[in-house]
Amino acid sequence: MCSISAFLNPYMMTPHLQEARNASLRSKVTVVGSGNWGSVAAKLVASNTLRSTSFHDEVRMWVFEETLPSGEKLTDVINGTNENVKYLPGIKLGKNVVADPDLENAVKDANMLVIVTPHQFVEGICKRLAGKIKTEAEAISLVKGMEVKVDGPRMMSTLISQQLGINCSVLMGANIANEIGQEKFSEATVGYRQNKGAAESWVQLFNTPYFNVTSVQDVEGVELCGTLKNVVAVAAGFVDGLEMGNNAKAAIMRIGLEEMKAFSKLLFPTVKDSTFFESCGVADLITTCLGGRNRGVAEAFAKSGGKRSFDELEQELLQGQKLQGVSTASDVYEVLSHRGWLELFPLFSLVHEICIGHLPPSAIVHQYNQRKLKGKSLGRL
Ligand SMILES: NC(=O)c1ccc[n+]([C@@H]2O[C@H](COP(=O)([O-])OP(=O)(O)OC[C@H]3O[C@@H](n4cnc5c(N)ncnc54)[C@H](O)[C@@H]3O)[C@@H](O)[C@H]2O)c1
């Protein structure tokens, strides 16, 4: 038997007690989500929890359970093969990743929660978790997207913080999941609010020789970059589908970055200009406009002359993965029209009008100039 004072005072401890104390101080990590990026996130953090004494080795990964065409449960296959055969085939996640289909069980001991599901599911998941998370837990959101309510837009980190009653940072960057799964070099940005110590823990948890993570004190800036670039990627896909060439694509990326910055600063005046030069800003924009899924599906949409719906193309081309740019364009449009800002953001508004079939894909370039001339200038925002 040991006394409490011996447990608290390291100088009074036996090696056995010391070990027990150290174990009790280690953070337990749970990844909520197991899609393409969720699986890569689990792999990244699992390699670090094994290496560092700050964390428990095991990483729990909550899986939205599915039955595979073979009749097996996805969770069983992940735990049997150490691979997410549906969302990240061919990549070993690390033996210390344990897939768990029971959401409450997966999070019950966690003090570091990595939230990484498509944004449309975040609110429902948080509702199920409210009151079931350790009060001292910290969260980080890797989710790209926002929620629009009557009283305005709400970022995912805010939703998570409010619903779970815990602090939430964000991690965004030029991160096409499959490339990082293959351990190809990339960078990412952690955005934090006040808690620099928490940001440092997140950097320690995610940083690897092939995944360089830095932190900035600008949650909204980092999160809005990650969210809005998907709208620009849809515009880039239209330009690709119409074979308008590299100059047009570069122009779309430049205009998109300008609108991303202006929109973010109008909504949150604290957003920093420098954030747009981090991995979450210009680098993520470039990679998403060159290779991401939003670009790819928008290219197919433009090639069909806007005749095939995004829903149909998403199902055909993404096999269960989710498209973000089209719904984010709709959310952004709602904010713009509600606040009387449509004329300030010709690219963002055109993307939505094309997606819903009110304009042909070619309007992305042809109508842009007309609207720009008629509209107000973004000036120095
Ligand atoms: N894939 C990437 O390259 C990448 C990179 C950076 C960020 N992201 C962002 O990460 C987030 C997660 O994307 P992903 O790529 O991991 O997912 P994904 O699109 O690959 O997979 C979809 C996931 O949603 C799950 N799902 C389906 N229905 C559900 C439901 N009703 N409730 C809960 N979950 C359900 C599926 O099981 C699957 O795990 C998104 O916000 C995405 O924008 C993705």
Known binding positions for substrate:
144, 293-294
Token representation of residue 138: 């910290």
325 lines ligand 1 (CB under 6 A): no
Q: pLDDT band for position 373 (50/70/90)?
A: confident
pTM of the model: 0.91
Residues 6+ apart with CB under 8 A from 363: 350, 353, 354
pLDDT digits (tens, 9 = 90+) for 76-104: 999 999 999 999 999 999 999 999 999 99
**Dist CA 241 CA 303 (whole Å):** 5
Is residue 31 within 8 Å of 62, Cβ to Cβ?
yes
- The domain at 4-217 falls in which architecture? 3-Layer(aba) Sandwich (3.40)
Average pLDDT, the chain: 92
- Among this protein's residues, is 229 annotated catalytic? yes
3-class secondary-structure state, position 33: coil
Is residue 70 within 8 Å of 118, Cβ to Cβ?
no
The domains of the chain are located at: 4-217, 221-374
CATH match of 221-374 with 1.10.3720.10: no
Ligand 1 pocket: which of 36, 180, 285, 326 to mutate (most atoms within 8 A of CB)? 36
Known binding positions for NAD(+):
33-38, 64, 121, 177, 293, 322, 324
Look at the chain and count its residues.
Answer: 381
pLDDT digits (tens, 9 = 90+) for 231-269: 999 999 999 999 999 999 999 999 999 999 999 999 999
Closest C-alpha to ligand 1, atom 8 = 37
Token representation of residue 164: 């779970």
